[in-house]
Every structure is written in structure tokens, then in C-alpha cells.
Structure 1
Amino acid sequence: MRDSCCGDSAKTHASRPASEAPPPGARALRLRIEAMDCPTEEALLRRALAGTPGVEALNFDLIGRVLTVHHRDADEEQIRRRIAATGMTPEPLDPARRSEAPSTRENWWKLGGAAVIALVAEVSDWIALGTPWLPAVLALAAIALVGLPTWKKGFIALRHRTLNINALMSVAVTGALLIGQWAEAAMVLVLFTLAERIEARSLGRARDAIRKLLTLAPESASVRQPDGRFRSVPASSVVIDSLVRVRPGERLALDGSIVEGHPILDESPITGESLPVDKAPGGTVYAGSINQGREFLFRTSRVAADTTLARIIHAVEQAQASRAPTQRFIDRFAAIYTPAVFTIAVLVGLAWPWLFGVGWLEGIYRALVLLVIACPCALVISTPVTIVSGLSAAARAGILVKGGSFLEQGHRLRTLAFDKTGTLTRGEPSQCHWDAIDDTLDSAARQRLRALAAGLAARSGHPVSAALARAAEAEGIDSLAVAAVEERPGRGVIATWEGRRVWLGNLRLAEEFGAAIPPLRARLAEHRKRGETLVLLGEEEHPLALFAVADPLREESREAIEALHRRGIRTLVLSGDHPDSVAAVAGRAGIDEAHGALLPGEKLAIIEACVAEGPTGMVGDGINDAPALARADIGFAMGALGSDAAIETADVALMDDDPRRLVTFLDLSRATRAVLMQNIALALGLKAVFMVLAFTGHATLWMAVFADMGASLIVVANGLRLLRSVPGRAGSAQHAANQEGAGQLEDHGGGHHRREQQGAMLGKPLDHQ
């Protein structure tokens, strides 16, 4: 386990990607390698497989311990032999599974027996019990029980010119035996093996956090067959548009839409939302969700390899394979530190007796102590464990981070810019109120105007028209039938009703009919300042009614902005909407600056100016705001559930559209950074202390092992603290209260597509109305 974290692997890893794109047409050999868990093993395997005929690309999943060899007619047995020559055992991986749990069993009885024997050897050496050869016999017996694997891996590493912990430990123990320190050599190996086992289990928690994602979706689904019966089939074989049955308590294996039933689903694996969500026919469901209600049927919309959960897993795997800036720095440091300390140890062994008059055996012993201290395992291992723990905690909170660098660098953000529609607002307009132009109309006449507007709105697919139609339907108003409907892109819709021309649209359409009288213009300006879009209903040159439509502010947006301000973050909103509307939304949300009537290039220019002043993040939909998202130091995508582009292009995706997750991300980033700094200080501090003790002759080999392994255990445990809690996680009660029955999440998710499709009535996105 520990052999993976030292030596000169940083250079190799830094120059080669963890994953290479598989060449088209190449075959894939997937192997599980239990001993492969850090960049050193990757470096060894790359060197071992370099030049193998037919091998074209290598993909390393260090967390899952899976190597995928892409080749063209290569000798797979030769590939396995070359891997085995490095001391690692390749095992075939079931192609139907993404990863497998470790199958090795630890022989704790051997370790316990070796510990007792080594302790007896140490005691007999201290009190000179028995014959002089008794400690040597006992020490060799203890080493034979648990030390041979370490020796073997150490000499393999030396043969590959890698100074990892096994290599250093092998040299140190061999030197101790050669100078007659039998009992101490045995105790060192026993302590090393014990600490290695404990560390392996600690690291396993970080791996399990990723591996558990793989088990969220079941491997089979109950699919209806042509004869009408339901049969359990592998999820990987289910095609799109299949009808799947889900019973109470079961997990969903695929994405789709509900056909029959009203289930209550726990979607926390996808969104991080802790409260169940009510669903109805037509609602979108996601693989990994748990049915906490009644049995229901849904029709699949994606194959198993392309579900939202599958894309999340892939993104997390890619993120944990990437290297954060601190990790890259530490790897470069370790590549220099280990050879330098090794050289110092050799010089101590050779020069210390001459310089200070100590015995040769004493000088060599101090050199061996330095060798044990030479391995920067605690320093190197702390960063990936901390980053993986942070990524896993973020995923549990519904935050998909596309790389450890973004998680680590998030604490540096000083400015956050927001898109308006679908980010601060819900992305779905709704009718606020309406007024008849003639205040003297009776209730029947007013009702008829509403019905006429609903009839015109129902003939348009524009979101603003849909808002009017929904409002009328909610109030039980039957729409009037209109004929000869004519759409006017960018303006509205015209039709005939009872032989008269009627229209529904914006001010431009009113101007065409000569209905834009000065008092009406004044009312339009007044509503626009409140951030509302006005739709006019008229007959020929006579305006009849005015309808105010607005994209409501998310109730959680103000809470998120207030929390960001408390953390010293400057906020601004960038929108293509009218400046008055943007200012109104910014005022209600409490945002510092508002910029309206912006084209994508103008948004980009503002982001560039902010980046020049300090680290800046951009929050948008990942499509319309792509230039600004790409230029920002960190791009955040809202509504990733409904947008493939958001999940693919954003640095960070907030899976439930809740802007409060930005606060969670910032707090988690700051906690991650703090843990990284703590671990670096602990690792380097302990190294410095024991180097001083080694030079002064106060450190022994077993003390050095305690210091080295103890430091590793401390930093691993410290890094794993991030798994236990999510700092600053937004509460879910208010979010759940905002959920309007079935389809809330899918409404959010589809917001981006709705905005792309706007234009049938007014011909522009809502931001430009």
C-alpha cells in the first residue's frame, strides 16, 4: 500500500495523463490490480508495458485499481506477464461491472504471531536472555512471517530505479541485519506491516466513497416483454423506450419518465436533497433514486451507460484522477526530497565516523534511521486522500466537481457573477397580475377578456404565452376558440374571433395596430422597472387588457447571496434582459451590481475585467453563457439534470439548481484547503523533528517507523474528516417547501431547453423581452 506514494513517480505522472483516449477500433483488456493505487505503480506499469507490441493506450483508475489496456491484436498473456514482473498481480475484471471490491484477505494471525516473536526477540536482546543467537533466530522467524513481501516489493522497486517506502524499508532492514541489529530489524518490519494494514483500511474509506456510487443503480430492471409480462433483465441491455416497473423500496436502474403511478422518490443520490419528492405521470425520474411510495411504471429515456448517475460517476472518477495544484507541487517536492535525503543518509554513514569520531556501526545505524525518514509518504498521500474525500462529500451534497483543482482553488474566489434567467430566477415565467384597460367593465366582460387572452395564448408555444394559459386554467377559465391564427415572430399572435381581428403580443405588435397610446407606454415603463414583461391584448386599434408576466426569483437566491456576502464574496448579475428588469431582480436578491442588455461578448468582457481584479466564478446554464463560463476561474452550471452540455462543460455543476449549494461548495473548498495545509505542516514537522533526533543520535529505527507511519495515519484520518460532514450545507426544508408536487426537478432541469426554444411568440429569449 505505502509503496505507491514515494519516489520519482511525480515526474512520470506529471508528463503523462492518467487516462488516454482509446483509439477507435482498439480492443480493451480490463485488469484489476490490487497493489495499484497511486502514481508510483502507474509509473512502474507504464515503463513495464512501454514498447509492448500492439499496445496503444493505457487508462488508469487508481481509486478502483483498474487498468484498461487498449490494444490491437496484442498478446494479452504477455501483457499480464509484464505486469506480474513488477510484483503486481493482474486479475481479469468482469466486463459487466465497472469496478469490484477487493478480494484479498489479510492474515492477521501471521502479523500477531510475528509481533509476539519480535517483541520476545527485543526483550531477550535487552536483558541478554539466553544465547547470543536467540534474538537473531527469533528476528528471522518474525521477518519470515510478515517481512518477505516488503522485501520483494522493495527490490523490484530498486530494480526499476524507484525509491519508494518498500525500497527504503528493505535497505534499512537489510542494513540493520548486517550490523547485527536483529531484534530491531524484526520490530521495524512488524510495525511497518501493522501500520500499512491500518493505513490500507483508512484509505479504503476514501475508495469506498467512490465505489459506493457504482452500487447506487441496480444491475437489473423489471422490463415489460412483448407478451405483457415483466421480466428482470440486465440494466445494460435495456433499450430506450422500454417500460420498466419499480416496486416500493426498489432503486431505479435507468432514467426515464413516469407513465403510470404517483411515486415518492428519494433523489438524494443525484441532487443531495434529503427530503423525498412527489412525482406524477410525465415526471422525470433518475437512476439511483429510491422508490419510497407505491409501485409505478416509467419509460426509459437513456441507456444504462448514459444515465445522469452514470455521467456523475464518470465525472467523479475523472475528477479524482486529476491532480490538484498542491498535489502537483508535493509530487515535485517528493521527487527531489527523497533522493536528497537518501544521499544525505549515505554521506552520514560514510562521513559521520570521520567527522565526529563515532563508531562505524553507529554511523551506519544513523544513516539507516534517515533512510526510514526519507520517504515523504505522509506528505504525498495526504493530498489525494483529502481531495477524494472532498469530492465525495461534494457529490453527496448534490455538487458535481469536475476536478480536484477546482475544489482546492474554490477558496480563492472573491467575485461571483450570475446569469439571471434560470439561475437567480426559476427560468419559467408566470403571470403576476392583469388589468383591463377599461376600468368600468363588469365582471362578465372582464371574464370574457381573460378567456379571449387564454384562447390566443393557447395557440402559441412561447413560454410567456404558456404562463397566461396556465394562469387561466388554474382559475378555471375556459378559453375562447379563435380562428385564422397567425404568428408574428418577435411580436405576438393575431387571430380572428367572431369576425373581428384580435391580437396578443408586445409593444411592437401594439404599434402595428396603432394601439400604443402614451398612457399605455407609461404603464409599460412602470411595470418594466419592476422586472415584469408586459403582454397586451387588443382588438384592431383598441388595447383591451394588459398582462404582467415575470420570471420569479428563487426563494433561496436571497439566502444564498446573503451567505456569500458574509463570506466576503462580491456578487453581480449579468443578463441580456432590459437593465430595469435586471436591476429589479438584483435588488430583490441583494446583489451588489447589475448589468443588463448584454450580449455574450459583453458578458465575457465583464468577466475578463473581474478576473483581472481577482479570482472570479461565473454561474450560468453552461450553454448561453459558455464564453463567460469558460473565461471565469471556475464555471458553475445550474440545472445540470436537464442539460447534457452543463454536465460536460462546467467546472462545477449544482445538481438541484439551488444557489445555496454555492455556499456549500465554498465552505467545503475552504475546509479542504485547511486540511491540506494541516497535513503538510504535520508531515513536514514530524520529518524535521526526527531528522534532528537522528542526527543527534536520539532516534531509533522503530521510532522512525512510528514517526513515518504515524504521520501517514494522522494525515489520512485528518483528510477523511471531510467525508463525515459537509460544511455550510444548505438546509433542505425550505427547498422542499418550494417543490410544487410532481415535476419540480424536471422543470428545473428543462429550463435550459425551454429557454433555447423560446421565440415562437416574441422571437427572443425572455432575457431580451
Structure 2
Amino acid sequence: MSDCGSKGCGCSSAASGPLLTPEPTASALAEAREAHYLIQNMDCPTEEALIRRKLGGLSGVVGLEFNLMKRTLIVRHNLPSLTPLEEALSAVGMQAVRQGDDPSTQITRLGIAQMDCPTEETLIRKKLTLLPGVVDLDFNLMQRTLTVRHTASALAKVLDAIQSLGFEAQELDTQNYRTPPSRAYSDSTPWLPLGFSLAAAIAAEGMYWYLGGNHWSVLVLALIAISLGGLSTYKKGWIALKNRNLNMNALMSIAVTGAMLIGHWPEAAMVMVLFALAEVIEAKSLDRARNAIRDLLDLAPEQATVQQPDGTWLDVEAKQVAIGSRVRVRPGERIALDGVLLEGGSTVSQAPITGESLPVEKAPGDPVYAGTINESGSFEYRVTAVAGNSTLARIIQMVEEAQGSRAPTQRFVDQFARWYTPAVFVLAIAVAVLPPLLLGAAWMDWLYRALILLVVACPCALVISTPVTIVSGLAAAARQGILIKGGVYLEDGRKLRWLALDKTGTLTHGKPEQTDAISLNSALTDSSRSIAASLASRSDHPVSKAIAKAAVGDGVVLREVGEFAALPGQGVRGVIDGQTYHLGNHRMVDELRGCSSDLKQRITALESEGKTVVMLVGADDVLAIFAVADTIKDSSRNAIAELHALGIQTVILTGDNPHTAQAIAAQAGIDRAQGNLLPADKLREVEQLAQSSKVGMVGDGINDAPALARADIGFAMGAAGTDTAIETADVALMDDDLRKIPTFVKLSRATAQVLLQNIVLALGLKAAFLLLTFTGQATMWMAVFADMGASLLVVGNGLRLLRQ
């Protein structure tokens, strides 16, 4: 009702182009080219607003034209490449297919168990990009998956190309986002050959020092060590070199071969064995980050007890249970599927989904979620979503998709790594050649130093540090009921300086009670409540519900309402017994006929008590006044205090009256309050804040769409079980607890610190070894320890976020 500025009007405003992007000039439109896209998951104006904000900020985009009914988007642009557009659409979770492509274009999701390192991703990307029929590649290194958009005839070529690079690709279900099983290192890792290889390398070192040189026994032991521990590295290195890719395997193969050629046999053997061992340890360490997401999959049981047509009960695989099925849950069991409770009651721990520490009482009509734990009673429920579309499944899907998006730090690191390895390779050649040629230095000495440079030329530690850290942060947030849509939002959370909040249901309980019902027309004293309640019963706004509930509780009879209409930001209208009535706030009364001084005094007196006032208006005058009060949550007060301690200022943006907004702000300790705001007004307020600092917006994720879309980070409250809320916001809080926002900010700041530590650690070790190499104090086995040790250190440092 009076908060209609934030509730119930978002969709129409979200689609308002001028609110979100400036009008392009005629000359810009004349010079622009067009790109046509089918956005397969663009259903609501809130998603249009999200895309409009994302693409509207790209340099070179001069116009956007949406058709929600057809799910199409025309982008008018002056870009040299469409890659920025498609990366931006992917970053906000949009499944965009460029129109005009082969109509047989399809999407295949592949699991590549051996794809551990960014250098391997680069190798695969380079190979597949050249194949005809391959339209797009989307890598998720942490989950070892590759999503390929391709023509039907290209899939066989893709699989052959991947196999030619020494990888095995397993086709996965694109509708099932369950993480493919990783390699079982405990079973497949050749521990015995590695053990013999290490023993042979140690023996070669011992014989070298005992015999005082390269005795034939030293060469034999070194060859055994390299053969047992390094054949896989040589094979991968040869494949990389054939494809003109300088990955770690290629560099290590060159370095070890060079060491053997200049007579450093024991050291070559030790370097190869240490590299093989370090790769295994690194892969197992990375699995800890992968398992952080995989653990979410284990929350939902694989079977459910389902009632059969003949009334019997049978254990059935959860993925085979259809919507509408009746499922029984016993005490202590995990709930397998989302549903609505039909019979019985219990307390359920929803911590895996919402992060709530206390169990929630469940009664018939209440929702239950897959992965939650039934703690006490037995009950039966009706399934409302298949296994692949449960709240838990959507959380996992969103977290995995968030991993695939590149955070700002990761994009910087990837660009740096692209130039770093070739630069160091060229430097190694210069080190090997120039000092002997120009200064007459010893060839063997400088060749050895060049080989050391090759060992430290791969930026694995630097490149792997960012995805491990981001994934750990996303997983830590998901465990606490905070669903973050991408690494960019996890990083930007630390920069928030303002947080705008909706009032009803966000700061308050959203369940107001009617406190006053004042009739202004004695002739209609008995009927005014009936008329008002009849209109209010047709609205789903909390204020309307409070008026209708109070009337029904007092035995007031509701009447038939015709020609009902919602008035955004004002109230509702309807025809009862042939007469048109309005029920709404003073903004509506002002537009209809204006408020008298006596009416204003009555309204002011009620609003000064923190109450929301609505009025019933007939054909000629205001007939009655109703006041409704909502109570603020204790958690809201605590959250605001924590935000202030973090240096974040707060403001209420509400469609409710200014007096109520100020009263709620005073109770919660909020810095500022703005009332009487329509969706466009909220958008304007957020835009003004965003001009000077990073701003977040907290709403229900649906009706505050324009402001949520414009904010640097949009937070959706109570997103559990709500498709649109999860899809709309940048960060979805799975319950209604505002204290999760300070938790998110703290996690963002911790993530930024770990990212910086990892970058300094990785680059610092590289720089130190470059210095040691030029001064002649470094050895190849020391270089391996430094390179792979740095990788293990940054991975371990990133995993610390899982304990947040």
C-alpha cells in the first residue's frame, strides 16, 4: 500500500530504458553495427534491467533493444569484437546465443579430469578455437569442465582434438550441474613408480658425490629416475610444443633435457622427480577447493520414500521423483527434494541452505528444502521441484557458474601471465647466448643459468592463486547462506561505502498489524471497514494483508470487488456495489482531491508514532483512516551497528511516508531515511550515491529491480526457494537476516587480503629467484622447490578462506 514505491511496481519500471541507459545520439546510431542475440533465460523485466545495466556501461555500446516476449536483444555498437558483449552477458548469468549462427548450434558440457592448470586450459583453448563449427568455449578450471557451443557436426572434432592433446573428455548432462568426479589420486596416482624414481634420483646424487663425477652408474640411475617419473611430463611437453604452447611441461622438458646435455645428470633426475611429486601434491591440494563445492552435493540424499499409486511406500531415486509426488520423511533424515508440507510436523535444520543456526518449526503449508535435516517428527510433503531444479541445485549451479566468471584480479593475472612466460623464455635465451658472445663468459655456466630461468618461467603459482581464492570465498559464503553470483561481487564487497535498504520485510518483519480504524463518515461507520477490507483482500502487500486480516478476525463480511486495479506507489482501486472506491496513501488522496488541514493533522499524528496510514476514499470524500504498524527485527539493529563499524553508511529508501521512515531509521540507527519514493525515485537516489562511492541495495530481489540493477551490488533478501530472487540479485541472502551483509563484507575484505598476499608471494619468489640466478647462487632443484612450493603456498593460503 503506502510502500508501493518498492513493492509490486518493479517490473514495469525495470523495463524503462531511459532510467538505465542514456539515449544515444543520432550520429552514433547511424554509425553503429547490430548484433542480435537470443537470451534463453531472459523472462522478466528484472533480468532486462540487469542486462541493461551491465551492457550499458560498456564503452562502444550505443543502443539496446529488448523484446521480452521473444527473448531477443539487439545491441547497437561500435566494438571491434563481440567478445566483451558476450563476456558481460555471461558474467550476469545470461545464456546468450548469437542469432544468425548455424541453426543446429548446440551446447555440450565436458568433464576433463586431467585439466588442472591454467596452462592446460590455454593449450585446449588454442586448439579448439581453430576448429570450424566451434562458436564459444567456457572453461571452469576449478571443476575441470568445459562448456562448448558448437554446430552438430563439430562435436566429434572437438573430442578428437582434446584427445590429441593427451586429455580424456567425458560428456556431461548440461541440465545437471552436479560436479563431475575428480581423478581419484589415491587410486590412479603411480605412487610405486614415483617412489622408485625418487630412490633412483637420490642414489644418482649419492653416487655422483661418492665417485666424484658422472660415472656410468650415475647416468643409468638418472635415466631410470627420469623414465619412471618424467615420461608423462615429456609426453605433455611434446604435445604442447607441437601446438606452439610454452606450458610448464614444455619448459620442464626443455630444462631437464638441457641439464642432461650439459652433464648435470643427477640434478636433471632430481628436478624431474621433484616436479612430478609436486604436481601430485598440488592437484590433491586443489581438490580441497573443489570438494568445498562438491560437499554441497552430498547434502541431498540420493533416494526418497515416495507413495505409490496403490498407497504403498517405496524408496525411489530422487532424480526420478516427479513434481506432485507425496514423500515421507522420518526423524533424523535429510530431505531429498523441495516441497510443501502436507501432513505432520517437525523442526527442521535449514542451516545447509539458509545458514540459520536454529531449527525452524514446520507445519502443514510450510515449505521444505532439499538438503535440510528433519530433526524430530515425521511428516509427509508434496514435491514442488524436481531434483535438478531444487533450491540446493540452483545454489550449486550458481556457485559453479560464479567460479567460471573472471574476477577483476583474475583477469589482471591472466593478462600478466600471457606475457610473462614468453618474456622469461626470451630472457633465458638471451642469458644463454649474450654473456658468452659479448663478454666471453663460460658457455656451460650461462646455459645452466638459462635452464634455471626456464624452470621458473611458468606462472602457475600466480595464475592458480586467484581461482582457488575466489572459489574458497564463494564456498565459504554459500555455507553461511550467502549466494554470490560471481568473483567480481566478492571482490567489490570490500569497497561498499553506502547501503540502501528497503523497509518492509527487509528491516522490519514485514507482518504489520492494524492498530487504528477511524471512520470519518458516521453514516458509513459499519460499512467502511467492509469496503476497505474487500479492496485490501485483493492486494498482496503486507499493509493490505494487515487490514484484511483484522477485519476478517472481527467478523467483517467481505464484498465482491469489480474492476480492481493496483496503482503503483499509491494503492488500489475497485468498484463495490456500483461505486468506485480507492484505498491508498496520502499521495493518492492528494492526486484525487487533496488533503484537508484536519486530515493532515490526523495523518501526521499517526505517522509520528511510526505507523503507516492508508485511507479509504469514496466518490466525494475520505471515508476512513487505517493505521498499521510493523516492528523492526532485532537482527536489523545488530546488522546496522556492524555495518557502521565497518565504515558503511546506511539509508532507508521506501515508498512509505517520511515520518514512518524516520521512525524506523531512528529505531535501527540508520543514518538517513527517504520516504514517498516510487521505483524510479529509488533508482535516482541510488544513482546519486553511486556517483561518489560504491553502493549496495537491499530489497526483495523482484520488485526493487531498477534500484537493485543500478546498485554496484544488489542484495536479495529471503531468496530460499525463490527462482527470480536468486537470478535477479548479485548476492542472494537465503534467509531474512541482514547480519549476513556484514559477514559478506568481512569475507570480501579477507578475500582481497589473501589475493594480494598470493600475488606478492608468487611474484616475490619469482623475482628472488631471478636475482639468485643472475648471481649464480641458484640451482635447478632449488628452482623446482621455489616454483612448485609457491604453488602449494598460494593454494594453502587461499584455502584458509574456507574457515571464515
CA contact (8 A) 1:450 1:472 kept: no
* Counterpart mapping for 1:165-176 below 5 A: 165-176=248-259
Amino acid paired to 1:398:
G
Aligned to 2:611: 532
Structure 2 distance, partners of 1:338, 1:242, is 57
Q: State yes or no: 1:101 paired with 2:184.
A: no
Q: State yes or no: 1:152 paired with 2:231.
A: no
Amino acid paired to 2:355:
G
* Counterpart mapping for 1:237-386 below 5 A: 237-386=320-469
Aligned to 1:599: 678
Amino acid paired to 1:564:
L
Structure 1 residues 540 and 696 mapped into 2: Cα distance closer, same or farther (>3 Å)? closer
Aligned to 1:426: 509
Structure 1 distance, partners of 2:171, 2:558, is 68
Aligned to 2:120: 41
Aligned to 1:668: 747
CA contact (8 A) 2:762 2:790 kept: yes
Structure 1 residues 424 and 481 mapped into 2: Cα distance closer, same or farther (>3 Å)? closer
Aligned to 2:706: 627
SS in 2 for 1:414: strand
Aligned to 1:133: 216
Say which of 277, 283, 291 aligns to 1:194. Answer: 277
Aligned to 1:721: 800
Say which of 213, 219, 236 aligns to 2:296. Answer: 213
* Counterpart mapping for 1:631-710 below 5 A: 631-641=710-720, 643-710=722-789
Structure 1 distance, partners of 2:333, 2:150, is 39
Aligned to 1:558: 637
* Counterpart mapping for 1:469-484 below 5 A: 470=549, 479-481=555-557
Aligned to 1:182: 265
Amino acid paired to 1:208:
N
Say which of 163, 176, 196 aligns to 2:246. Answer: 163
Aligned to 1:609: 688
Structure 1 residues 376 and 321 mapped into 2: Cα distance closer, same or farther (>3 Å)? same
Say which of 114, 119, 142 aligns to 2:197. Answer: 114
Aligned to 2:473: 390
SS in 2 for 1:572: strand
Structure 1 residues 165 and 35 mapped into 2: Cα distance closer, same or farther (>3 Å)? same
* Offset of residue 144 of structure 1: 1.0
CA contact (8 A) 1:261 1:296 kept: yes
Amino acid paired to 2:508:
T
Q: State yes or no: 1:66 paired with 2:110.
A: no
Structure 1 residues 664 and 264 mapped into 2: Cα distance closer, same or farther (>3 Å)? same
* Offset of residue 328 of structure 1: 0.8
Aligned to 1:5: none
* Offset of residue 359 of structure 1: 1.9
Structure 1 residues 125 and 454 mapped into 2: Cα distance closer, same or farther (>3 Å)? farther
Structure 2 distance, partners of 1:77, 1:545, is 73
SS in 2 for 1:98: coil
Amino acid paired to 1:172:
A
* Offset of residue 506 of structure 1: 7.4
Which region of structure 1 is more displaced relative to structure 2, 609-618 or 634-643? Answer: 634-643
Q: TM-score, normalised by structure 2?
A: 0.79
Structure 1 residues 459 and 152 mapped into 2: Cα distance closer, same or farther (>3 Å)? same
* Offset of residue 348 of structure 1: 0.8
Structure 2 distance, partners of 1:536, 1:14, is 51
Q: TM-score, normalised by structure 1?
A: 0.82
Amino acid paired to 2:309:
P
SS in 1 for 2:555: coil
CA contact (8 A) 1:223 1:243 kept: yes
Structure 2 distance, partners of 1:277, 1:537, is 38
Say which of 562, 573, 580 aligns to 2:659. Answer: 580
Aligned to 1:736: none
Which region of structure 1 is more displaced relative to structure 2, 460-469 or 133-142? Answer: 460-469
Structure 2 distance, partners of 1:452, 1:64, is 62
Q: CA RMSD in A?
A: 3.7
Amino acid paired to 1:185:
A
Structure 1 distance, partners of 2:240, 2:199, is 29
* Offset of residue 274 of structure 1: 2.4
Aligned identity (percent) is 54
Structure 1 residues 632 and 588 mapped into 2: Cα distance closer, same or farther (>3 Å)? same
Aligned to 1:757: none
CA contact (8 A) 2:120 2:247 kept: no
Structure 2 distance, partners of 1:538, 1:600, is 24
Structure 1 distance, partners of 2:194, 2:590, is 89
Structure 1 distance, partners of 2:386, 2:103, is 21
Structure 1 residues 101 and 652 mapped into 2: Cα distance closer, same or farther (>3 Å)? same
SS in 2 for 1:74: helix
Q: State yes or no: 1:233 paired with 2:316.
A: yes
Amino acid paired to 1:654:
L
* Offset of residue 425 of structure 1: 2.0
* Offset of residue 480 of structure 1: 4.8
Structure 1 distance, partners of 2:85, 2:536, is 56
Q: Which runs of 5+ in 2 are unaligned?
A: 1-80, 566-570
Structure 2 distance, partners of 1:76, 1:39, is 23
CA contact (8 A) 2:352 2:479 kept: yes
* Offset of residue 606 of structure 1: 1.9
Structure 1 residues 252 and 131 mapped into 2: Cα distance closer, same or farther (>3 Å)? same
Q: Which runs of 5+ in 1 are unaligned?
A: 1-10, 439-448, 497-501, 726-769
Structure 2 distance, partners of 1:509, 1:679, is 58
Amino acid paired to 2:363:
A
CA contact (8 A) 2:200 2:224 kept: yes
SS in 2 for 1:122: helix
Amino acid paired to 1:285:
V
Amino acid paired to 2:190:
N
Amino acid paired to 1:99:
T
* Counterpart mapping for 1:83-102 below 5 A: 83-93=162-172, 98-102=178-182
Deviations 1:377-428 (A, max 9, x none): 1111111100100010011111111110110121111111112222222333
* Offset of residue 52 of structure 1: 4.5
Structure 1 distance, partners of 2:761, 2:479, is 28
* Offset of residue 271 of structure 1: 0.7
Structure 1 residues 205 and 24 mapped into 2: Cα distance closer, same or farther (>3 Å)? farther
Which region of structure 1 is more displaced relative to structure 2, 419-428 or 381-390? Answer: 419-428
Structure 2 distance, partners of 1:346, 1:511, is 81
Which region of structure 1 is more displaced relative to structure 2, 527-536 or 24-33? Answer: 24-33
* Offset of residue 483 of structure 1: 6.5
Structure 1 residues 343 and 533 mapped into 2: Cα distance closer, same or farther (>3 Å)? same
SS in 2 for 1:218: coil
* Offset of residue 599 of structure 1: 2.2
* Offset of residue 273 of structure 1: 1.3
Amino acid paired to 1:418:
L
* Offset of residue 220 of structure 1: 3.3
Structure 2 distance, partners of 1:305, 1:511, is 51
CA contact (8 A) 2:585 2:614 kept: yes
